Structure formats: C-alpha cells, structure tokens
Amino acid sequence: MEQNSHLTSFEKESGTATVQLMESDGDDEAVRRVREGDRDAYAVIVRRYEAPIRRFCHRMLGEPHRAEDAAQEAFHAAFLRIDTFRGDSSFKTWLFRIALNRCRDMLRYSARRSTESWEAIVEHGGHAAEALAAVEAPGYAAVEARDVLKRVLQSLPPEYREVLLLRELDDQSYQEMAETLECSVDAVKGRLKRARAALDGALRHLCEESTVRRSEEREQS
Amino acid sequence: MNHLEPAEIEQFVDGELDAAASAAVREHLQVCAACRGYSERLETYGRLLRSPDAHAGAAADTDEFVTAVMQRIAESPAHLAASKEGPAPNGSKRTRPLFLACRDYLLPAFGAAFAIVIIIVRPLAPQSATSTGSDQTHSSIPASVTTRELLLDGLGDNDSSGPFSFSELLTLEGQ
C-alpha cells in the first residue's frame, strides 16, 4: 500500500492494479488503454507529463492561474482527441502541440495581452541583467537573474517565446520542435536563431540602460 | 580571427552538431573570447529558464492537478456519454450498440424528414373551416386580377383622407 501513497483519491478508488502496470509501461500502451476506456491509464499519463506541460504554460503565459487553466485544458483536450493521435510523433510532442495551441489561443484572446513596460523591466532588473550579460550569473543571485530573464522573455513575441521554451525548458531536439511547431527543421533553426538574438539583444540593451541610469543617478547625487 | 556563425554556436550548445563539427567548434571556443562569451551566455539563459520556480512541478500539488484534470474529464459531456455505455470488459474494444446508433442518428433523421413532409403537404391541403380571415381573402381572389390591381385595392385607392391616392401618385410619377 505504501507504494501507492502517491496516487490520487481518484486513482485509489479506481483500483491500483492497472496503475501499477501503467507506471512501468510506455506511452503507446497507456494510449491504447485510454482508447479502450481505461481512465486510470490517463491519470498515469497526466501524472507523467504534468510538470513539463505546466512549466511550459506558465512560462508562455506568465500568469500562474491562466497557466494552470491552460495546462488542465490541454490535458482535457488531449483526452477527448486521443483517437486522433496517429503516432506519427511521440505522445509527448503531440501533447505539447495541444498545450502550445491552447496557450496561443489564450494569448490571442486575452484582453491583457500587453506585457510589462520596458521601463519597469529596467527598474526591476537592471542589476541582474548586467550580471547576466557579463556571464556572472552562476555566482550571482540566481533568483534575481531568473526573474529578470522571465520578464524579458515575456516581452518577446510569443513565437520567439515558444521556440525558446521548447528548446530550453523541455530540451526538445530540432526534429521534435519541428513536429511540435508543425514546420521544417530549417524553419526551427531560423526561428530559434532570431529568438536567441532577440533575447540576448534585449538583455544587453537592458544592461546598457541600467548602466546609463545608474551613472545619471551618481551624477545627480 | 574569424568568428563562428551564431547559428553554429547555437547548434553546438544544443547538441545538434556531429562529432567532427563539435570538436572544431570546441577548439575555436578555447581561443576566441567573443564566441566563448556567446556560448556561455546561451548556456546561462538555458540553465535559468530550466530552473524550477514556485509555480511549476511542485510535488505537493501534483495530486491536485491530476485530480482536477480527471474531474474535468469526468464532467465533460463527451465523456459522460461514453461512460453511460459502460467500461470495456477485459480491455476489449467497446462496440457501439445498434439502439444507440438509432437514438443518435436515425431518430433525428426521421424527425427532419417528417418536418419536411409537413412543410410540403400543408400548402396543398384544402381550405378547412378553421382557415383564417387572410386565407379566405386570398382564396377568393380571381386569377385574372393583376398584382397592381391588388395593390391599388389594398392601399385604398378610393380613400381620400391623404393628400394623394396611390393611383394619383402613379399618374404624377408618369408625368
């Protein structure tokens, strides 16, 4: 029984025999069981991928509550559409594609599409950006550095954000990214290059503005 | 010194280069501070983006998340319809009973066909005693009466309460 202590009440009520079997099974077996009406199998899939999908939605949308909603909707939609999964790509890639589309929809229809102003980012994270740009982050306060990076990430266009997150957050290969984004590998390379240039440029720009601002403050004082 | 293309450094950092190309890039990075700086920045950005934060992947709320998703599924109309059919015994594929197919497809089809028949047959039915006044008016109109005559009659051509009657208007327009 101790082995099942991590299960939800839903899974416990449904019986543990199937769940134990599924924990060691691959996605193909899990998907087959879900198609046959085994809901416990889908709970195992959700448990398997909830962390990367939630993290991706959170970084894409920038708001925890909307991100949770998007992640839940993505898993819900995947369950309803599981009969359409043909196995051309991995199940994880297919799931990420659904989550990505959900995030795109939310960003498209969101009334609060505007991101934080550049001034606010400079105000909050100038020091951290300077540290990042100077490659001092490993010895720097990582929390602050991560915070400023997330703020800058939110200021980038969504198409840059999604390609950066798929690469860095989920460690997807170019081929997997191409399947998730439904484009060619060359297109992935191009988009990733532009996204990284934008991120790096924004952080360097942030660093320069921060430096100028601080020198002005010193002169005034 | 010639610098590497940014894309080459990115593919190196992403592990997308083959062994020979990776070795060449690694060798260059040892002697080129600018390219090494870009490579290190990319690695730093990646590491910071990957670092966990308070909102994602916390083990404590994994159970809550799984429960919330399964709750959504249980409450969704599509799943409710499926669950009424019962679970598949012994993992075999569920077959759809014939009466459910009748309920979902044949009944609406018969309903639609019946509605179409009603719409077609109704105008052809003989006038009954329960016909409305307007129906009686239309049925008493001789076939030889033209639309214009009907209009003139309907608008009260002989009514002199207005400044012009309809026929007077037509005459004025003709002039």
| Complex confidence, ipTM | 0.74
Size of interface A-B (CB pairs under 8 A): 132
Burial A161-190 (b: 16+ CB within 10 A, else e): bbbbbbbbbbebebebbbbbbeeeeeebbe
The yes-or-no verdict on residue A17 having pLDDT over 50 is no
- How high is the pLDDT of residue A148? 80
- How high is the pLDDT of residue A150? 82
- The 10s digit of each residue's pLDDT in B133-166 is 444 444 455 555 555 555 555 544 444 445 555 5
- How high is the pLDDT of residue B19? 94
Tokens of B106: 């044949």
Let me know if A21 is exposed, middle or buried by CB neighbors in 10 A (0-12, 13-18, 19+): middle
Nearest residue to A116 via CA among A144, A156, A162: A156
Q: What's the one-letter identity of residue B69?
A: V
Its sign, for the CA torsion A182, A186, A191, A192, is positive
Nearest residue to A153 via CA among A143, A164, A145: A164
Which residue of chain A is at minimal alpha-carbon distance from B82? A37
Which residue of chain A is at minimal alpha-carbon distance from B90? A36
Question: Within an 8 Å CB–CB cutoff, is residue B48 touching chain A?
Answer: yes
C-alpha distances out from residue B31 to A106, A141, B37, B55, Å: 46, 29, 11, 41
- How high is the pLDDT of residue B142? 56
Its sign, for the CA torsion A29, A32, A38, A44, is positive
- Dihedral over alpha carbons B50, B51, B53, B58 (to 10 degrees): 80
- The C-alpha atoms of residue A46 and residue A37 are separated, in whole angstroms, by 15
Let me know if B162 is exposed, middle or buried by CB neighbors in 10 A (0-12, 13-18, 19+): exposed
CA of B62 to nearest chain A CA: how many angstroms apart?
7
Interface of A with B in 101-120 (CB under 8 A): none
- The 10s digit of each residue's pLDDT in B35-59 is 998 998 898 888 888 877 654 445 4
- The C-alpha atoms of residue A54 and residue B41 are separated, in whole angstroms, by 26
Its sign, for the CA torsion A155, A159, A162, A168, is negative
CB contact under 8 Å between A169 and B49, yes or no, is yes
